[in-house]
Amino acid sequence: MVQIKKITSKHGPEHGIQKQIISFLREREWFVRATHGNQYQSGFPDLFAAKRRYGMRWIEIKYGEQYKFTDAQLDTFPKFSAAGVGIWILTSEREYMSLFSSPNWASYLPVCRVHTRNRKKIAKEKVEKRIAGSGPERDIQTAIINALELDGWFVLETYGSLYQSGFPDLYACKRGHGQRWIEVKNPQGYKFTPEQLETFPRMDCEGVPIWILTSDNLAPIHGPPNWRTYLK
């Protein structure tokens, strides 16, 4: 008889806090999804939350004073701020009301144990992320990212994984223009995943617009959200 090894968790205390905060927010009818870094995706805050009455929130979970920011976050968080997008630090669900005050992530910098890394290595990793995958849709997505960045947008790719699915392909933000969730589709043939068909309406319901782009023509993101017109 083959003995199946018990799956052990490598999660630390921050994971427990994150679960509590997710439950707390969902009990109050927030849409909330965790982001999970992988070899292609890094730099996002831990949670994206939205509620039509209050708007969107990016939330980073930290455990007491025993925390640090990753190198990718030290690279991306200032870019979120420069684009006018706030990030809130929570260390427990008891700090819920801080989501209604000014973004506070920068106030945690003086006490965090910052570790640095060669910036050329970070830039190299960004290039590696963008060439992950292949095919026509991948080429369209790369062209869209290049067009957005040329136009001054800060862009991150979401990359679904075993633990995360349903988000649109791209998150972009730019000061004076706000935030954009963008799904990339090949005009020659496309479909939505079951996770997207569940998540997109929920995001839309909470006032989080989603745009479909099929080329590097950025005109659609300056108009009303168009994802519903692509439903078959």
Give per-residue pLDDT as tens, 3-41. Answer: 433 333 456 677 889 999 999 999 999 999 998 755 555
Nearest to 125 by CA among 32, 21, 38, 30: 38
How much of the chain, in percent, has pLDDT values that exceed 90? 64
Number of domains in the chain: 2
Give per-residue pLDDT as tens, 75-103. Answer: 999 999 999 999 999 999 999 999 999 99
Q: What is the DSSP letter of 228?
A: G
Q: Which residues of 43-73 are buried (b: 16+ CB within 10 A; e: fewer)?
A: bbbbbbbbbeeeebbbbbbbeeeebebebbb
Domain range enclosing 41: 13-111
- pTM of this structure: 0.83
Q: What is the pLDDT of residue 132?
A: 54
Q: Are 80 and 153 in contact (CB under 8 A)?
A: no
Q: In angstroms, rounded to a whole number, what is the distance separating the alpha carbons of residues 149 and 176?
A: 15
Do 105 and 82 sit in the same domain of this protein?
Answer: yes
Nearest to 63 by CA among 7, 9, 14: 14
Mean pLDDT of the chain: 84
Q: What is the pLDDT of residue 18?
A: 93
Nearest to 57 by CA among 17, 85, 18, 21: 85
Q: Helical H runs in the chain?
A: 13-27, 71-82, 119-130, 136-150, 194-205
Does residue 177 sit within a domain? yes
Do 69 and 145 sit in the same domain of this protein?
Answer: no
Q: Select from 81, 111, 141 the last residue of a domain.
A: 111
